[in-house]
Amino acid sequence: MLSVSPAARPFLALATLAVALALAGCGGDTEPGQPNTESDSGNTVFLTGDNFVQHSIHIAPGATLRFDDTNGVLHQICVGEDMRCEPNARAPKALQGAGFGIKPPEIKQFAFTNPGVYHLTCTLHPNMNLVVTVS
C-alpha cells in the first residue's frame, strides 16, 4: 500500500485524473493545423448541404477539431464571420487566409494549439458560422 497522507489524497486523485485525460485527449503526433487521419469523434462538427449542424463547440487546447462532410456539399471554411475571412495568426494555419475546401465524403481535422475563441465561417453559404472555444 502506498503511504499517502489523507491531506494529499485529493491532490493525488486529481493528478491521476489529469494524466488519464492527457493520455485520452492527446493525439501524440498530430501536427498543428495539418489534416490527419486520427479519429476524435467527440470533437466532430458535421456539415450539411448549407450549414454546420451545430454553431458552437468547446475543445481543449491542443485538441483536434474534426469537420465531417460525409453528407454535405462543397464548403470553404476559414477564420472569420458571415462569409468573410479575417486574419487570425493564432488559428490553425489551414483556417487562415482563404481557409480550406471540403467536399463529400471528406473528413478533415485540425489541431487547435492556442487557447481562444475562434469564429469560423463558410464563404459559400450565408449564416454558416461556427464558434470554436479552445480552453
β-bridge mates for residue 44, sequence order: 66
Q: Answer yes or no whether residue 60 interacts with Cu ion by CB under 5 A.
A: no
Contact present, 76 and 69 (Cβ < 8 Å)? no
What count of residues does the chain have?
135
Smallest CA-to-CA distance from 122 within 81, 61, 92 is with 81
Q: Which stretch binds Cu ion (CB under 5 A): 5-13, 15-23, 55-63, 125-133?
A: 125-133
- Residue 91, SS3 per DSSP: coil
Give the nearest distance from C-beta 57 to Cu ion in angstroms: 16
Please report whether residue 66 would count as binding Cu ion according to CB under 5 A: no
The binder of Cu ion chosen from 75, 85, 102, 109 (CB under 5 A)? 75
Amino acid in position 5: S
Q: Is 128 in the site for Cu ion (CB under 5 A)?
A: yes
Site for Cu ion, rule CB under 5 A: 75, 122, 124-125, 128
